[in-house]
Amino acid sequence: MNPLHRLLCALALPWLLIPAAAAANDFPTAERVIYVQECMRTHPGPHFEMINKCSCAVDAMASEVPFDDYVGMTTVVNAMSIGGERGGALRDNESVKPQIKRYRELETKVHKACFINDSK
């Protein structure tokens, strides 16, 4: 391979990786804001510190799972709090338990990485 071809390949390689990086961070801004607000409500602390920690957590979450997977997991986790028969039908559904487990493990991992204290 001549030097010009090597140079062109070296310059093209980063452009080939951009779609993969973009896909790993496909969370819409509004969803990131909602996550940070909920995180700050759940983990009170100094405002600026928690904005940074919770932003770190949502960025880490976005780097771990595609947005569609995140939506599926959070929908199931949030629906678990529905009371009565409707909530019971979901709570008793064994097929959603792996999603709940995956979300809780992922959330624990990103909170630990971003120094968010989950002990209550």
The residues near 79 (Cβ < 8 Å, ≥ 6 apart) are 87, 90
Q: What local confidence, expressed as pLDDT, does residue 21 receive?
A: 46
45 secondary structure, DSSP code: -
The CA R_g of the chain, rounded to the nearest whole Å, is: 19
Rounded distance, CA 12 to CA 97, Å? Answer: 43
CA angle centred on 70, ends 31 and 20, rounded to 5°: 90
DSSP letter string over 18-56?
Answer: HHHHHHHT---HHHHHHHHHHHHHHS---HHHHHHHHHH
Do residues 76 and 92 touch, judged by C-beta distance below 8 A?
Answer: no
**What does the DSSP 8-state code read for residue 43?**
S
% of the chain with per-residue pLDDT over 90: 53
Per-residue pLDDT tens digits for 47-74: 999 999 999 999 999 999 999 999 999 9
The model's pTM is 0.73
Instruction: Read off the pLDDT of residues 86-100 as tens digits, 9 standing for 90 and up.
Output: 777 777 778 888 888
Rounded Cα distance between 39 and 116, Å, is 9
